[in-house]
């Protein structure tokens, strides 16, 4: 009996399956509107680099553990890095980029959830119930004249005799006795069952075939939100690369200042030795020695500041690279120009406005808000649903009753005609969001243009400063050499040497600053165009 009931349930579910399967190939009005809307609102501003970057896997970083001993926080390794190595590492393990990737995964799930409304919902339910009824047992005992513990039926002759004494005619007694006291299985035990084991099942299909555009608008809003999230991921990626480049250039600047500081200390030490030698020989003055010692002390102070700044820059770059253990980093790339930019100002601005993900992001937010507005209005419009419900019932103990099945089919029109203004308020919120995106688009447009203009100007200026500083370094080195020779020959003063030494240090700093500024401006241009 149980096998028969389960088989019926499976057969009933299989009969419903083609109805659901046909919906996957159907093209209701909502699907048409969604496809048309998606085609007409496709943004041409989305860079191809966004999808390409999403295809690159990101390694999930391990959760750091709280150290138990201070020794665990000691720097355990030093990693020499090129700029490209630093960029690769930060794209592979940075938590900010991983968070942006999770946001894309969440938006994709929201889109799938919205698309699920295009298909019917199918629900199945099976219940098994076993019960014992004392009332039925008492009724059976009273009629059969047996105790509740008796399970066998009364005989046919006893039944006829009982009915004759109860006032029934012989024909009626014979018919009732055959029904109630027959030993064929349909006697008094089945008429007054004291226990039952029922199994019931239901299957329901519900399908919204017309939603006044609600489903299509929700799908379109989810698609635009997904597009915006992908663009935000690319923006995060570009900003992260730009941040790493800036941190690497900070470390290069600190390294250069340390080298310049070392050279300045060595040069001032030589000046102190020369001044003391001349003082001992009687050709120099104590004043010149004091001047040289003060300049040496100043050079040492600048060297200490440079050392501190280098350590800070190293820690900052290591933080961005998210090493599992405390690690120090060193910049091994030479401090030189990183490349050239051959496009003019107008061409660069045009490329930036067409390729920057921030502009496409604001446009996608505006489109998503418009779709949300349409969904809000559709929520108070008529919607049509069709449904099909099927049921079956079987008592596994009562052998005289078989399996009963039934079904219900119909259509329903639902119209939330008045909701107290909630839908209109939601639409107004979407309108405000769309207008905010439009205002942000304008602001981002102007910001992109300004960033290109300022970066191009900085690049041009830095290029000129490099040429000037290179010439100045060569002149300052020669001037210091001559000043030392004049001082050693007694025809020059210590002041001339100190001035020449200070000028050489400043020229080297100027050249270092010009080269780093040039590279920063070049990176800024590439970031403005969106090609980092």
Give the mean pLDDT of 299-325. 92
Tokens 């501003």: give the residue.
45
pLDDT more than 90, % of the chain: 55
Convert the pLDDT of each residue in 212-245 to its tens digit.
999 999 999 999 999 999 999 999 999 999 999 9
* pLDDT band with cut points at 50, 70 and 90 for residue 138: low
**Three-state secondary structure of 149-203:** CCCCCCCHHHHHHHHHHCCCCHHHHHHHHHHHCCCCCCCHHHHCCCEEEEEEEEE
pLDDT of 280 above 80: yes
- Give the pLDDT of residue 200: 93
Q: Examine the pLDDT at 186 and tell me if it is beyond 50.
A: no
Three-state SS for 26-84 is CCCHHHHHHHHHHHHCCCCCCCHHHHHHHCCCCCCCCCCCCCCCHHHHCCCEEEEECHH
Q: 436-472: per-residue pLDDT in tens?
A: 999 999 999 999 999 999 999 999 999 999 999 999 9
- Give me the pLDDT at residue 27, please: 35
Comparing CA positions, the residue from 497, 508, 496 lying closest to residue 472 is 508
Is the pLDDT assigned to residue 23 strictly greater than 60? no
pLDDT band per the 50, 70, 90 thresholds, residue 104? very high
Decide: 295 and 504 in contact? Cβ < 8 Å. Answer: no
Mean pLDDT of 490-518: 89
Here the tokens at position 489 are 């020959």
**What is the H or E stretch that residue 278 is in?**
helix 214-281
Which comes out higher in pLDDT, residue 205 or 41? Answer: 205
Query: Where along the chain do its domains lie?
Result: 76-123+211-384+419-529
Lowest-pLDDT range, 48-52, 266-270, 367-371? 48-52
pLDDT-derived band of residue 323, with 50, 70 and 90 as boundaries? Answer: confident
| CB distance 205 to 20 below 8 Å | yes
Question: What band does 275 get if pLDDT is binned at 50, 70 and 90?
Answer: confident
189-201: pLDDT as tens digits:
555 556 778 899 9
494 and 284 Cβ atoms separated by less than 8 Å: yes
Residues contacting 456, CB < 8 A, separation 6+? 341, 345, 348, 521, 525
CB of 97 within 8 A of CB of 240? yes
Judged on CB neighbours under 10 Å (0-12, 13-18, 19+), 150 is: middle
Q: Give 308-346 as a DSSP string.
A: HHHHHHHHHHHHHHT-SS-EEEEE-S-SS------S-HH
pLDDT of 5 reads 39
Mean pLDDT, to the nearest integer, of 492-496?
Answer: 82
Separation CA 182–CA 186 (nearest Å): 7
Reply yes or no on whether the pLDDT at 21 is more than 80: no
User: With pLDDT > 70 as the criterion, what percentage of the chain qualifies?
Assistant: 75
- Residue 126 sits at φ, ψ, to 5 deg, of -130, 130
Helix (H, G, I), strand (E, B) or coil at 386: strand
Least confident of 164-178, 282-296, 313-327, 478-492: 164-178
Question: Tell me, which fold does domain 76-123+211-384+419-529 have in CATH?
Answer: Outer membrane efflux proteins (OEP) (1.20.1600)
């Amino acid at each position: 009996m149980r096998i028969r009931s389960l088989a019926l349930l499976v057969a009933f579910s299989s009969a419903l399956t083609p109805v659901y399967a046909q919906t996957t190939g159907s093209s209701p009005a909502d699907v048409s509107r969604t496809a048309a809307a998606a085609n007409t609102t496709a943004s041409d501003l989305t860079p191809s680099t966004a999808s390409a970057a999403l295809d690159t896997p990101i390694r999930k970083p391990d959760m750091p553990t709280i150290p138990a001993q201070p020794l665990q926080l000691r720097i355990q390794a030093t990693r020499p890095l090129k700029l490209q190595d630093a960029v690769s590492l930060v794209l592979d393990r940075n938590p900010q980029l991983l968070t942006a990737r999770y946001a894309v995964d969440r938006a994709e799930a929201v889109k799938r959830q919205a698309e699920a409304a295009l298909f019917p919902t199918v629900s199945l339910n099976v219940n098994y119930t076993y019960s014992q009824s004392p009332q039925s047992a008492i009724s059976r005992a009273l009629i059969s004249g047996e105790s509740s513990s008796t399970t066998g039926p009364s005989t046919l002759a006893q039944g006829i005799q009982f009915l004759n004494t109860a006032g029934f005619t012989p024909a009626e007694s014979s018919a009732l006795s055959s029904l109630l006291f027959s030993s064929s299985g349909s006697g008094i035990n089945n008429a007054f069952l004291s226990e039952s084991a029922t199994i019931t099942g239901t299957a329901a299909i519900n399908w919204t075939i017309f939603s006044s555009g609600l489903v299509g608008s929700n799908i379109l809003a989810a698609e635009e939100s997904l597009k915006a999230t992908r663009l935000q991921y690319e923006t995060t990626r570009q900003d992260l690369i730009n941040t790493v480049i800036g941190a690497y250039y900070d470390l290069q600047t600190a390294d250069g200042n340390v080298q310049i500081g070392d050279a300045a200390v060595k040069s001032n030490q030589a000046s102190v030795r020369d001044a003391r030698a001349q003082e001992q020989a009687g050709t120099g003055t104590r004043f010149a020695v004091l001047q040289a010692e003060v300049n040496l002390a100043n050079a040492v102070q600048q060297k200490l500041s440079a050392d501190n700044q280098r350590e800070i820059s190293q820690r900052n770059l290591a933080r961005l690279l998210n090493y599992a253990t405390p690690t120090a980093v060193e910049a091994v790339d030479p401090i030189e120009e990183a490349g050239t930019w051959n496009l003019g100002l107008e061409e660069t601005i045009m490329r930036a406005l067409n390729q920057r993900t921030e502009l496409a992001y604001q446009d996608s937010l505006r489109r998503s808000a418009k779709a949300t507005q349409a969904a809000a209005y559709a929520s108070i419009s008529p919607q049509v649903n069709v449904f099909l419900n099927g049921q079956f019932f079987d008592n596994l103990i009562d052998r005289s009753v078989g399996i009963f099945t039934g079904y219900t089919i119909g259509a329903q029109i639902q119209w939330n005609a008045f909701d107290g203004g909630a839908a209109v308020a939601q639409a107004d919120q979407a309108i405000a969001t769309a207008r905010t995106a439009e205002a942000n688009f304008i602001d981002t447009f102007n910001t992109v243009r300004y960033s290109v203009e300022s970066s191009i100007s900085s690049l041009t200026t830095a290029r000129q400063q490099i040429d000037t500083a290179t010439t100045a370094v060569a002149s300052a080195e020669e001037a210091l050499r001559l000043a030392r020779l004049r001082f050693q020959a007694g025809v020059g003063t210590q002041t001339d040497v100190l001035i020449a030494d200070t000028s050489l240090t400043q020229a080297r700093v100027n050249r270092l600053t010009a080269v780093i500024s040039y590279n920063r401006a070049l990176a800024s241009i590439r970031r403005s165009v969106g090609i980092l």
